[in-house]
Each structure stands twice: as structure tokens, then as C-alpha cells.
């Protein structure tokens, strides 16, 4: 029996099946197989990760232990990189117990994170290197010593990773390439001391500027958001929040999605042909742009809202409905939420 978009309870997260397929194919053509390690933090959805695997990517990046556990449970655990530091002994023990069914590599950037991983009995680490983003990552000139300590404790050191998140939104391509090259220089200097097969870096905003790493870690490209759309990348806006207009005046309309169903750290969401005035907890107030010729939306009508930041938007929702036109083709659990 068919299900229809207009029957969904709102706010609902929807993905356009054709835009998603376009995005997955475009990335698989640019970065085939193991040269892309899709980051599941951007969609938190094992059915979508399964599609990425069908497009040739069998290795994945995760941000939380929960994501690793869920990927292993979904039989997508050939090669899971937890690209984040973890100190929680309980969660590390759970990851350790999964090593028979999944290959799990943990990022470390300090003696403390090495200790935590080693105590839990985890076997594989990657040295997380600071390539310019003031977040996690050890200084490049200290990476080799940490790798030596890890090997001395019997661990396998897979290689290095370095995430240049501060460069994703640089708009000038030549400037971006030069800055990415500087970041990669730092990563390669660390790799010379660390060794290992893996040199992992990058994201949706820089995937096509990397030619000296073994793999890129791209997340947002699959679903996309309006921030990344502003860069003119070859990926389509596949994700929207489907909403109902619940109130209207002769000057504005209000739909039933707000801060609690949209990641807002990259700014207001967008609605085609409309100007978004502001968002509050459960509401977006909007009105037609002057040149759109649109009338004010009527109470009961439906509105598609494009989020400015995909990752936190997805994390607010339990389900992702796959749609084509007016038809709901499938409903996927967003099953990797939590920590
Ligand atoms: C460690 C790491 N790698 C890669 C990415 C790339 O993600 P995206 O492709 O969404 O920019 C992120 C995003 O925050 C990240 O934290």
C-alpha cells in the first residue's frame, strides 16, 4: 500500500530519493571505494550507510561509540574509524567486545586516550593530528612518539588522521587549495614519523582538493544543507523538514518546525520563494520574497524547509522518510543517535 507525503505527521524529516542517489553516485565517481570513508555522523542512519556501501564504500568514519556499535550491529563493520577521542571505560569496553565482528580503529591524541584504549583491550589506533583546527589532535611533531608508545603496548597503529574543519567553508578555491595543502603538509610530516597505511583527512567542503591522502572523510554530501549549497558543490539538497502551516496573517505565515527540529548553528533554514523571519522553539515565521510572486501560505498547507546544517538537524529526528514526488517510498530509523 502506498504512503503519501501529505499523510506524514509533521515536522518530519524527508529525503528525496533521486537527489540522494545523485549525491551518492557523484561522490562515488569522484572518490571511489576506499578513497572515501563516509562519515555517518551526518546522517546517523544505517540504511543510508548501507546505500553508501552499495556505492562501493565499505569503510566508515564515526564520531561516537554509539555510531560504531550501531554500524557493527548492522553488519557494516568491515572497517570502522572512530575519529574522535574517547575516555569512557564503559563504552570502550563495549567497543572492545565488538572486535570479533568489526574492525574498529580509535583516534588517540594523548597518553590518556592511549591508556584508556589500551586498558579496554582495543587493538587498533590512529594518531589524530592537529592540522590547524583548534579541536582534537596532537601537534604534528609529537605524533611519532605517541605512535611509538602505542606500538610498545602491543597496539596496531593504522596511520594518521587530521581534520581541517576550519577550511571547509573557505569560498575562494585557490586560497582553499593552498590552505588544504598546508594542512596536508602537517599531516604528512606526522605520517613520516608515525607510519601506517592510512592517511585520512577532509570532508565535503574539501573532498576534491585532496590528492596526497589515502582517503577523505565526507559526511554532509549525501543529504546536504544550505551552508554547503552556498559553495556550489555538485551535490543536491536531498534533505528537508516537512512542515504544516499552523497559523497565518496577511503579512506572515507560521509552520510547525523550529529550533527543536532544525540545527540552527549555521543560521536560519530556507524555504523556496520565502523569506524566513525567525525561528523559535516550535515555529518558523516566514513570508513570500518580493520577487517570488507567492501569496502568503495558508493554514493547513505544507512547506518544505531546507536546514542550514544537516548533522544536528538529523540528530533531532527519529525517522527519515524517503520520498519521490508525493510518494513515501520507505521510512528509515535514524538509529545511530545518542552517544
Ligand atoms: C573528524 C571529521 N571528519 C570529517 C568531517 C566531515 O564532515 P562533512 O563532510 O560533513 O563536512 C567531520 C565533520 O564535522 C569531522 O568531524
What is the SS3 string spanning the chain? CCEEHHHCCCCEEEEEHHHHHHHHHHHHHHCCHHHECCEHHHCCCHHHHHHHHHCCCCEEEECCHHHHHHHHHCCCCCEEEECCCCCCHHHHHHHHHCCCCCCEEEEECCHHHHHHHHHHCCCEEEEEECCCCCCCCECHHHHHHHHHHHHHCCCEEEEEEECCHHHCCCCCHHHHHHHHHHHHHHHHHHHHHHCCCEEEECCCCCHHHCCCCCEECCCHHHCCCHHHHCCCCCCCCCEEEEEEEEEECCCCEEECCCCCCCCCCCCCCEECCEEEEEEECCEEEEEECHHHCCCCCCCCCEEEEECCCHHHHHHCCCEEEEEECCEEEEEEECCCCCC
Segment 139-153 mean pLDDT: 98
Is 83 close to ligand 1, i.e. is its CB under 6 Å away?
A: yes
Is 310 close to ligand 1, i.e. is its CB under 6 Å away?
A: no
Say what the pLDDT of residue 211 is.
95
Contact of 226 with 269, CB cutoff 8 Å: yes
Residue having the nearest C-alpha atom to atom 5 of ligand 1: 203
Say what the pLDDT of residue 74 is.
98
Alpha carbon of 76 to ligand 1 centroid (Å): 19
Is 219 close to ligand 1, i.e. is its CB under 6 Å away?
A: yes
> CB within 8 A of 337, min separation 6: which ones?
44, 66, 315, 318
In a 13 Å sphere around the CA of 321, the CA atoms on its Cβ side amount to: 22
Is 201 close to ligand 1, i.e. is its CB under 6 Å away?
A: no
Segment 30-47 mean pLDDT: 98
Segment 32-49 mean pLDDT: 98
pLDDT tier for residue 153 given thresholds of 50, 70 and 90: very high
Segment 11-33 mean pLDDT: 98
Atom of ligand 1 nearest to the CA of 42: 10
Say what the pLDDT of residue 268 is.
97
- The model's pTM is 0.97
Interatomic CA distance for residues 323 and 4, integer angstroms? 9
In a 13 Å sphere around the CA of 294, the CA atoms on its Cβ side amount to: 18
Is 70 close to ligand 1, i.e. is its CB under 6 Å away?
A: no
Segment 59-75 mean pLDDT: 98
Say what the pLDDT of residue 292 is.
87
Alpha carbon of 168 to ligand 1 centroid (Å): 9
Pocket test for ligand 1, best of 24, 31, 42 (most atoms within 8 A of CB): 42
Alpha carbon of 218 to ligand 1 centroid (Å): 6
Is 213 close to ligand 1, i.e. is its CB under 6 Å away?
A: no
Instruction: Determine what percent of the chain is predicted with pLDDT higher than 70.
Output: 100
Residue having the nearest C-alpha atom to atom 6 of ligand 1: 203
pLDDT of residue 1 exceeding 80, the answer is no
Q: Is the dihedral of CA 305, 206, 335, 90 positive or negative?
A: negative
Interatomic CA distance for residues 11 and 9, integer angstroms? 6
Alpha carbon of 250 to ligand 1 centroid (Å): 42
Contact of 240 with 14, CB cutoff 8 Å: yes
Q: What pLDDT, in 10s, does the model give residues 78-115?
A: 999 999 999 999 999 999 999 999 999 999 999 999 99
Segment 5-13 mean pLDDT: 97
Atom of ligand 1 nearest to the CA of 218: 9
Is 205 close to ligand 1, i.e. is its CB under 6 Å away?
A: yes
Q: What pLDDT, in 10s, does the model give residues 247-290?
A: 999 999 999 999 999 999 999 999 999 999 999 999 999 999 98
pLDDT of residue 2 exceeding 90, the answer is no
Amino acid at each position: 500500500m502506498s504512503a503519501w507525503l501529505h499523510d506524514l505527521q509533521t515536522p518530519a524529516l524527508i529525503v528525496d530519493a533521486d537527489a540522494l542517489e545523485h549525491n551518492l553516485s557523484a561522490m562515488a565517481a569522484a572518490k571511489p571505494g576506499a578513497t572515501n570513508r563516509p562519515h555517518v555522523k551526518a546522517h546517523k542512519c544505517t540504511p543510508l550507510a548501507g546505500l553508501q556501501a552499495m556505492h562501493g564504500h565499505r569503510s566508515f568514519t564515526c564520531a561516537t561509540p554509539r555510531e560504531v556499535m550501531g554500524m557493527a550491529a548492522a553488519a557494516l563493520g568491515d572497517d570502522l574509524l572512530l575519529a574522535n577521542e574517547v575516555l569512557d571505560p564503559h563504552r570502550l569496553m563495549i567497543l572492545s567486545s565488538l572486535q570479533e565482528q568489526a574492525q574498529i580503529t580509535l583516534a588517540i591524541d594523548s597518553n590518556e586516550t592511549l591508556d584508556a584504549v589500551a586498558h579496554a583491550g582495543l587493538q587498533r589506533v590512529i594518531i589524530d593530528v592537529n592540522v590547524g583546527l583548534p579541536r582534537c589532535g596532537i601537534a604534528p611533531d609529537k605524533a611519532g612518539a605517541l605512535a611509538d608508545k602505542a606500538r610498545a603496548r602491543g597496539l596496531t597503529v593504522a596511520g594518521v588522521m587530521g581534520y581541517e574543519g576550519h577550511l571547509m567553508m573557505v569560498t575562494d578555491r585557490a586560497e582553499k587549495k593552498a590552505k588544504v595543502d598546508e594542512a596536508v603538509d602537517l599531516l604528512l610530516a606526522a605520517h613520516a614519523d608515525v607510519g601506517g597505511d592510512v592517511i585520512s583527512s577532509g570532508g565535503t567542503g574539501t573532498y576534491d582538493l585532496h590528492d596526497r591522502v589515502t582517503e577523505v572523510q565526507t559526511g554532509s554530501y549525501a543529504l546536504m544543507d544550505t551552508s554547503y549549497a552556498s559553495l556550489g558543490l555538485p551535490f543536491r539538497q536531498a534533505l528537508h523538514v516537512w512542515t504544516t502551516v499552523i497559523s497565518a496573517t496577511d503579512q506572515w505565515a507560521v509552520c510547525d518546525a523550529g529550533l527543536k527540529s532544525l540545527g540552527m548553528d549555521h543560521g536560519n533554514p530556507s524555504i523556496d520563494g520565502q523569506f524566513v523571519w525567525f525561528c523559535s522553539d516550535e515555529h518558523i515565521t516566514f513570508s513570500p520574497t518580493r520577487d517570488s510572486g507567492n501569496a502568503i501560505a495558508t493554514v493547513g498547507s505544507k512547506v518544505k524547509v531546507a536546514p542550514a546544517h544537516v548533522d544536528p538537524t538529523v540528530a533531532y529526528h527519529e525517522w527519515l522518510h524517503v520520498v519521490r514526488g508525493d510518494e513515501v517510498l520507505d521510512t528509515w530509523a535514524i538509529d545511530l543517535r545518542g552517544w
